[in-house]
Chain A
Amino acid sequence: MTDTVAESIRQDLDQGQVLRTAAGARRRRYALVVLGWLVFIGLWWLLALWVGSEARLPSPGRVFQEVLAILQEDFWAQFWASIVRVVAGFFAAVLIGTPVGLLMGRSKYWSNFLQSPVVVAGSIPGLTYAVMAFVVFGISFWGPVLAVGLIAMPYVAINVAEGMRGVDRRLVDMSTAYGRNERQVFRHVVIPSVLPFVFAGVRLSFSLAWKVGTLTEVFGSSKGIGFQIRRNYQLFNMPGVIAWVLLFVLFMLLIERFILVRLERRLFRWRQWEREA
């Protein structure tokens, strides 16, 4: 009797040990990541000391001051301008890319027909879209929207086509056998299985589209992050350029990690069983 009790206690202890080492490992990893950032900033600082010129490479402290100044000034207004445009661009991309993808996924002929245009559109350098948007719209709200829409569209189309091919044939057959009409099948079978692929297309092109969106703001905008980077570049204000770039990068990483990853998990939740299988 005492043996079994001792045994179970020992087991509990062992389990606690395992949990504690897991937590310890996680803590160690976080510590290393923080250390990584410190090393990054440290190297930057040393390099700045060695260069010794604020106009060439400002120190991290100087850039931090600049970041604070921007945050107090008009950071949110500028960011908001960029966000609205990029989101509108994605909206356009989904609106055009989804039907194209549906067509490609449904018919062999249209798949062949649209294959090359979509592939070529996917490898066009962002500069082209940015300048084209500027030529078409001048300095306007719609330039970045057009550029983002064009750059994200092929990704959405290819993913939707992939999703269409992945629609479970048996589910469609069964729905038809039980007397569901085409519209009901589309609404309740096709759309739920294609929707995650639309999202995947947006997710894949997310960082690329943001880059092209800001590039378009460099050319034809009087607002937004791209415009601010360009303005500081023209004033030869190195701390300003680096501060805006840093804010942009941090913002992107935050969106990527906290919003997109979560949204993805939510949208793909119904496929849990598939992943486990």
Chain B
Amino acid sequence: MTAAPVALPEAPAPQGGLRRWLASPVGAQITAAVVFIGAWQLLTVIAPRVPGPAVVANFLFVEITGGPHGGIVRGQFFEHFAVTLQRFSLGLFFGFISGLLVGILIGSSSLARALLSDTVLVLLTMPAFVWAFLTTMWFGITWQAPVLTVAFSAFPFVAINVAQGVRAIAPELRNMSTAFEVGKWKQFRHLTVPAVAGYIFAGLRFAIIIGWNGILLSEWFSGQAGVGFRTRYWFDANRYRGFVGWVIVFIVFIVLVDRVILNRLQARAFRWRDQKEVDFIEIEEEQVGL
């Protein structure tokens, strides 16, 4: 009998703990995910043509393990993903290197800035699907079309960010270094690189997000393999579960790369800085200022 009064005050504790957990940041995020999946499930009840979470999960399982989708079509996840990753990294490489060179040129010479900045601005305004169309008209359905679409759409973002970084190097520091006879290499290593690195990183992040959109479009319109092609394949076959499944794949990929890998890398590389985390939106704010 004496045990009961002791147990009573304990009883509400787990409830309070649950409530506290639900109100915590992690709890709120998990609640959001659950609400999202619930809403999705509800949507399939209202609109029966929308594939539900379970159906899509099943599709993805079959696609990734390479099992039969019914009929003769088999899952082909890694084949298409590998093709896209190859083209993506090649295009990113070209776009990044050329953006870096032009950005340094625009940032360090006022003549180059006056001559080239409008051209870069025009390229910045071009939608990625236009590059997908143009490269297809130039090269046909080949591997060059998606690679160049990535390179062309990523290039102006890198160039503008790098140019901004080069211009942002404090002239006082540079003058002082020269006055105190700091060597050219030492200046480059300890002044130029740390000042520009953040902008280069921001440019790379933009290039990755913009380029990913570009390669999907290019493969959608004129691919015979790749993530974009496979998405379209299921779309054309009227199998919306396949379409939604692949959409989830390419969204998860870009969110993982951007928010998890690049964000962490950036935080690590720039932890010496006394500034809050540079956010995706904040970088873009700088972007528009130019």
Contacts and interface: CB of A to CB of B under 8 A. Distances in A.
A116 interface: yes
A211 B137 contact: no
A156 B182 CA distance: 47
A236 interface: yes
A113 B32 contact: yes
Interface in B14-57: 23-25, 28-29, 31-33, 36
Contact of A249 (B126, B138, B235): B126
A114 interface: yes
Contacts of B209: 123
Contact of B116 (A36, A114, A126): A36
Contacts of B9: none
A204 B235 contact: no
Contacts of A135: 240
B254 A112 contact: no
Given A123-B259, A127-B220, A214 B127 contact: yes
Contact of B28 (A55, A109, A203, A253): A109
Looking at chain A's contact residues, is the secondary structure mostly helix, strand, loop, or mixed?
helix
Nearest to B118: A36
B128 A211 contact: yes
Given A36-B119, A123-B259, A253-B121, A204 B32 contact: no
Contacts of B240: 135
B284 A204 contact: yes
A37 interface: yes
A241 to B, nearest CB: 6
Nearest to A32: B114
Contacts of A128: 247, 251
Contacts of A229: 129-130, 133
B122 interface: yes
Contacts of A211: 127-129
Contact of B125 (A126, A230, A253): A253
Nearest to B113: A32
A93 to B, nearest CB: 15
B28 A112 contact: yes
Contact of A36 (B115, B130, B134, B255): B115
A207 B125 contact: yes
Nearest to A38: B115
A101 to B, nearest CB: 12
Interface string A125-136: 111100100010
Interface in B230-251: 235, 240, 243, 247, 250-251
Contacts of B115: 32, 35-36, 39
A215 B127 contact: yes
A135 B115 CA distance: 44
Nearest to B258: A123
Interface string A235-253: 0101001100100110011
Contact of A123 (B130, B216, B235, B280): B280
Contacts of A19: none
Contacts of A127: 213, 216-217, 220, 228
B281 interface: yes
Nearest to B130: A245
Given A123-B251, A204-B284, 12 more contacts: A33-B114, A35-B115, A55-B137, A57-B138, A110-B28, A112-B24, A114-B32, A117-B32, A125-B216, A127-B216, A128-B247, A252-B125
Interface of A: 29, 32-33, 35-37, 39-40, 55-57, 109-110, 112-117, 119-120, 122-128, 131, 135, 155, 158-159, 200, 203-204, 207, 210-211, 214-215, 218, 229-230, 233, 236, 238, 241-242, 245, 248-249, 252-253
